[in-house]
Amino acid sequence: MSHYLHNDVVITEKELLREIVNLKEKIFELEMDRRNQRKIVNQYKSLIPKITKPMFLTDVEGKIIDANKQFIDLLGYSIFDLKRMTIKSITPMNIHENETKILVEELVDLKNITSRWSEFFKINGEKVQVELEITASFDENNNFDGITRIIKNIL
């Protein structure tokens, strides 16, 4: 019977083979997870352009995660710039409190707010007033993890 040194512990060939099989199964599971993630990302990327109204997504803290072309065109920022910003970067100071704690508390209870007026700053500093539909998103464990805002009307 062969013995091998593994992490300073002597193990048998049978134990070593069992560990190799277990690791191979984990590698396969990770590869399947990666394929499923790619599939979900591709589905997501194919749906975003189909939304014709300006829309953007943030995490719970307000960091902008993504935006569609219509939102980018409305404010004039690039997607690269937006992804480095937060909701506070594009809204007037008097809206900040509403865009954080109160909004999150409402969304946890309601899941969706069909109408809320807000203001955004365009890249040139000009303000634009909008009516938003705001929806909470949840992860696979049903934890609140993001906010989607769709602009219904622009004044």
Q: How many domains does the chain have?
A: 2
* Alpha carbons 107 and 136: distance in angstroms, whole number: 6
**Percent of the chain surpassing pLDDT 70:** 89
User: Same domain for 20 and 36?
Assistant: yes
Q: What is the pLDDT of residues 40-97, one digit of tens each?
A: 778 777 878 788 899 999 988 889 999 999 999 999 999 999 999 999 999 988 776 6
- Measured between its terminal Cα atoms, the distance across the chain in Å is 81
Pick from 15-19, 73-77, 96-100: least confident:
96-100
CA 92 from chain centre, in angstroms, equals 23
CATH of the domain at 98: 3.30.450.20
Q: Report CA Rg, the chain.
A: 23
Q: Is the pTM of this model over 0.85?
A: no
What domain range is 34 assigned to? Answer: 3-43
User: Same domain for 119 and 145?
Assistant: yes
User: Same domain for 36 and 59?
Assistant: no
Would you state the structure tokens that stand for residue 135, as one six-digit string?
Answer: 């929806």
- In the block, tokens 């960091």 appear at 63
**CB-based contact 134:116 (threshold 8 Å):** yes
User: Same domain for 106 and 144?
Assistant: yes
User: Same domain for 11 and 84?
Assistant: no
Task: Outline where the chain has alpha helix (H).
Answer: 13-47, 69-75, 79-82, 87-90, 93-97, 103-110
User: Same domain for 17 and 60?
Assistant: no
User: Same domain for 71 and 132?
Assistant: yes
